[in-house]
Amino acid sequence: MFDTILVPLDGSDLAAGALEPAAEIASLASGRIHLVRVPDLPVHAILDQLPGDIARETEAARTEAEASLAEAARLLTARGLAVSTSIEEGPPAHGIARAVADTGATLVVLTSHGRGAVARAWLGSTADRLIRTLDVPMLLLRKGEWRKPKRVLIGLDGSERAEEILAPAIELARLWESGLLLVHVVPAPSPKSTGEAGTWLQHQSLVAHRYIHSLALKYRAQGFDVHAQVPVRWDPAQVLQELAATDDVELLALATRGLGGADRLLLGSVADKVIRGAELPTLVFRPRTEGSSTSRAFREAAVTPVRGDES
């Protein structure tokens, strides 16, 4: 699945932190790596409005980018990996997207510029733009030492779109021999809701349990160590963040655009909050599926009980 893994670099040690996990995935998947740089045009050259200065600064930036790409490629090639490189022009997000299209990349691995403090709300403009526009999975890494995940948390909401994260997440878990934690958060009604809300919640919880545990049984049959949870909480984003902070979860995976409506919680503002607030590596995918369909597995869960271990 991951034949070509694209790694955007910018000459910083932070960006270079994506090389090790990308190399690990490429080695396990028998894939190749493509390294891309989009050289920055110095601000002072633009402000000075001097064509000669702009040309010299641009050439210097390109030369530096080529040298750094060549060195990174040399180190990866020495590990037996197939590596290609390219220099792109224009805004970084546009250049990276162009390289993804040109190379047919099936995974992008990059280090995001997440910040500390309470909100941790800034991914960096380039990563933020790519999350919203690329239609290939992206592995977003935080600053720090990389380690193979023991367990992958996959957030689902019963929609076809949300389920599109399953293929890349399951493939990474297979390569890394990681366990799975499948989570479907059922939205709790307001304390002021009527008795009808309680009946609705009971029904939604039952269907969600059937749905998530049917998936758990499916992946257990494939040899995965799978846990499943169906929390009932008012704030789905907070639930996912709390679960992502547990000791055995080291990768969060979810799609990045949802169906809208109270019963389709994962994407849009909830996913945005989770991705920006998570402190661990995050696999994100902007779904290609159009429309607002529930998944086949969810529809079946609405009418067919699932038996078996639901732990």
Q: Does domain 147-311 have CATH number 3.40.50.620?
A: yes
Domain layout of the chain by residue ranges: 1-143, 147-311
Nearest Cα to Cα of residue 234 among 265, 184, 194, 188:
188
Classified as helix, coil or strand, 251 is strand
Backbone angles phi, psi at 303, to 5 degrees: -125, -15
Q: Does domain 1-143 have CATH number 3.40.50.620?
A: yes
Report yes or no: 146 and 175 within 8 Å, Cβ to Cβ: no
Question: Within 10 A of 150 (CB to CB), how many other CB atoms are there?
Answer: 15
Q: Would you say the CATH fold of 147-311 matches that of 1-143?
A: yes
pTM for the predicted model, two decimal places: 0.85
One digit per residue, the tens of pLDDT, for the chain of length 311 reads 899 999 999 888 888 999 999 999 999 999 999 999 998 765 544 555 556 666 777 788 888 899 999 999 999 999 999 999 999 988 889 999 999 999 999 999 998 764 443 333 335 678 888 888 898 999 999 876 788 899 999 999 888 888 999 999 999 999 999 999 999 988 776 655 555 666 777 888 899 999 999 999 999 999 999 999 999 887 888 888 889 888 789 999 998 863 344 334 454 567 778 887 777 899 999 877 665 588 888 888 887 654 544 44
